[in-house]
Amino acid sequence: MSLKLYARKALYYLIRKHPRAMSIVSLVLIRVGRFASHPVIAAIIGVTILPPRVVQAAGAMTVTVGEWLGAAVDSAAAEGEAQAQPRGQAALEDDDAVEC
């Protein structure tokens, strides 16, 4: 197995087993990425460490990863709810179950 496959399995395991923690990680990535991609902050950070455009690009990538991770957590939660629904019943909008 390749390293990529191991990383994917580990990530999906964490998303399924620890959705709250992964949701928090997603929110932190989004916040930090948006903070770093702000032009003024990027200029301040960029002067001391990296060029400002590199800091902005890294911030944008961090936001993208955070949004992807949040979508993966939401998708796993929806999949888990769909599997938890008993057979022969359909969920209504107000979460009442009715025999089909």
Confidence at residue 85, expressed as pLDDT on a 0 to 100 scale: 59
Ordered by start, the domain boundaries in the chain are 15-78
pLDDT value at position 27?
Answer: 95
pLDDT of residue 1: 58
Distance of CA 94 to the CA centre of its chain: 27
Task: Look at residue 60 in the predicted model and tell me its pLDDT.
Answer: 94
Residue 11 to residue 69: CA distance in whole angstroms: 10
The vertex-20 CA angle with 96 and 4, nearest 5°, equals 115
pLDDT in tens, the chain (100 residues): 577 778 888 888 988 899 999 999 999 999 999 998 888 888 887 777 788 888 889 999 999 999 999 999 998 888 877 776 555 555 555 555 555 5
56 vs 47: CA distance, rounded Å: 13
| Predicted local distance difference test score (pLDDT) of residue 30 | 94
CA–CA separation, 94 vs 92, rounded Å? Answer: 5
Q: Which residues pair with 85 in a beta bridge?
A: none
The pLDDT of residue 99 is 54
Contacts with 99 (C-beta within 8 Å, 6 or more apart), sequence order? 88, 89
Taking only Cα atoms into account, the Rg of the chain, rounded to an integer number of angstroms, comes to 19
pTM for this structure?
0.70
Beta strand segments in 32-91, E: 89-91
pLDDT for the residue numbered 36? 87
